[in-house]
């Protein structure tokens, strides 16, 4: 089944609203959790993969790139991240960021030396391509 760009955006918006509504009482209404422009990409032949990434205390990942669009949502703890030309930032549970195709993810790791951290990474990429490529 081929998904149009509009259907993809609606699906991702629904995911963002759902995750936001799980953290707030139903009476509080809806509020945007995250908003960003998307790169102009054709999605024919693409697939979506959702990964749970766990970091032990002080653990980090080596610098890497993703071939498609990546949305990362912090499920637990605090995560340090530096993507592209943006400054390094610490994201807390309930916060998220976007990576566009090929951007360097130079820093990705647990901000705590004593507590675990966990993210949900949603990767959209062409079928058959490796989802992560280490930076050389």
Condensed to tens digits (0 to 9), the pLDDT of residues 115-134 reads 999 999 999 999 998 999 99
Q: What pLDDT is attached to residue 18?
A: 47
The per-residue pLDDT for range 50-98, each reduced to its tens digit, is 999 999 999 999 999 999 999 999 999 999 999 999 999 999 999 999 9
Domains, the chain, in order of start with CATH, read 5-134 (2.60.120.10)
Residue whose tokens read 């998307």: 38
Q: What pLDDT is attached to residue 101?
A: 93
Q: What is the rounded distance in angstroms from the CA atom of residue 34 to the CA atom of residue 45?
A: 26
Q: What pLDDT is attached to residue 17?
A: 46
Cα–Cα nearest to 71, from 15, 18, 20: 15
Cα–Cα nearest to 121, from 104, 97, 102: 97
What burial letters (b/e) apply to 119-133, b meaning 16+ CB within 10 Å? bbbbbbbeeeeebbe
């Amino acid at each position: 089944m081929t998904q149009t760009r509009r259907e993809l955006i609606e699906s991702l918006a629904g995911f963002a609203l759902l995750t936001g509504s799980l953290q707030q009482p139903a009476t509080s209404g809806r509020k945007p959790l995250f908003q960003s422009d998307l790169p102009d990409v054709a999605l024919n032949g693409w697939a979506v993969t959702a990964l749970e990434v766990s970091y032990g205390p002080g653990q980090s990942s080596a610098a890497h790139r993703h071939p498609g669009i990546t949305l990362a949502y912090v499920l637990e703890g605090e995560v340090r991240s530096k993507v592209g030309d943006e400054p390094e930032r610490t994201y807390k549970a309930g916060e998220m960021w976007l990576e566009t195709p090929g951007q360097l993810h130079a820093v990705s790791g647990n901000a705590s030396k004593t507590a675990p951290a966990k993210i949900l990474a949603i990767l959209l990429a062409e079928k058959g391509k490796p989802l992560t490529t280490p930076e050389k």
